Amino acid sequence: MNQINRTIKAIIESRVGGIHTALPAKIESYNAKTMYATVILLNKKKLEESEIEIPPIVEVPVAHFNACKFIIRPPYAKGDIVQVVFNERALDKLLITGKSEEVKLTRKFSYDDAVVVKGLKIEQEDDLPDEELDSLYIANLEHNNKIIMRKNGDIRIVNEAIDNPAIYSEIIIKEETDDIEINRINSGIDVGIKIQSDGIMTINDNTNGAELKFDFTNENGKGAGSIIFTLAEKLLLNSGDTEGIPKGHSLETWLNNHIHPGDSGGNTGIPTSSSPPPSEKVFVE
């Protein structure tokens, strides 16, 4: 009786042992054009009294986002850990045309019909970034490049310095206001460009408090198409300039009313002709 039980148990284990559902594996090679990989399963199988490695599985389809003509292709590399599932029926004909086919091969849940479905994080790897935890987060962790889609609809694109996350460039698209912000933060430097939905664009030196505004809205009655400077220190039209520009109305008043000592004593009268009027387009403080 014991022999019969052992025989039945061996038959059942043999049958069940050939049914595979899902296992973690390691990418051995990957073709990003054909979306096929060679993988090595991380588990071993028992052969008599020994545990041996399972031979690599070749030409494994790699699942990816593929809808109509839109794709998102994962850049797998050798050594990446992935999850592999094993299909119920043989894939030999099913993935050739994408049409319904009769599967004549009888194997089920076989290693030969594996598909890579996603990447896996192993415990020995570093934790993922502890930021934007409630956002869709796409990143190149090697170079600190990120695309972040927030719950409020904002989209943030960031490029951080590898050795110092406090140094970064970013683009933010605001959902609520439709504003677009471009910022560069560096040691002692904080500059940004903001394009508002109402047509106003500003370039800001946040470190020194300077601003250049392009106003297309006639805001504050300054006129549509105005360009407005807010100066922190100086506006230099040439890097070597050292002389300031006189104020328009003040200079006009002085020119129209100034006098000189006369040649025979006394003073001359004011000029008999007026000076040119100040510009109506360029204004200074």
Stretch(es) of the chain classified as CATH 2.40.50.230 = 2-119
Q: What's the predicted TM-score (pTM) here? A: 0.66
Q: Do the strands 36-41 and 57-61 form a parallel or antiparallel pair, or are they unpaired?
A: antiparallel
For residue range 222-268, what is the model confidence (pLDDT) as tens digits?
556 677 777 767 666 666 666 666 667 777 777 778 777 777 777 77
Length of the chain: 285
Q: What is the pLDDT along the chain (285 residues), one digit of tens a residue?
A: 577 767 666 666 666 666 889 999 999 999 999 999 999 999 987 766 778 889 999 999 999 988 888 899 999 999 999 999 999 888 887 787 778 877 777 888 888 999 999 999 989 888 988 999 999 999 998 899 999 999 999 999 999 988 887 899 999 999 999 999 999 998 778 999 999 888 788 999 988 888 888 887 765 555 566 777 777 676 666 666 666 666 677 777 777 787 777 777 777 777 777 777 776 666 665
Intra-chain end-to-end CA distance of the chain, in Å: 107
Task: Tell me which architecture the domain covering 2-119 has in CATH.
Answer: Beta Barrel (2.40)
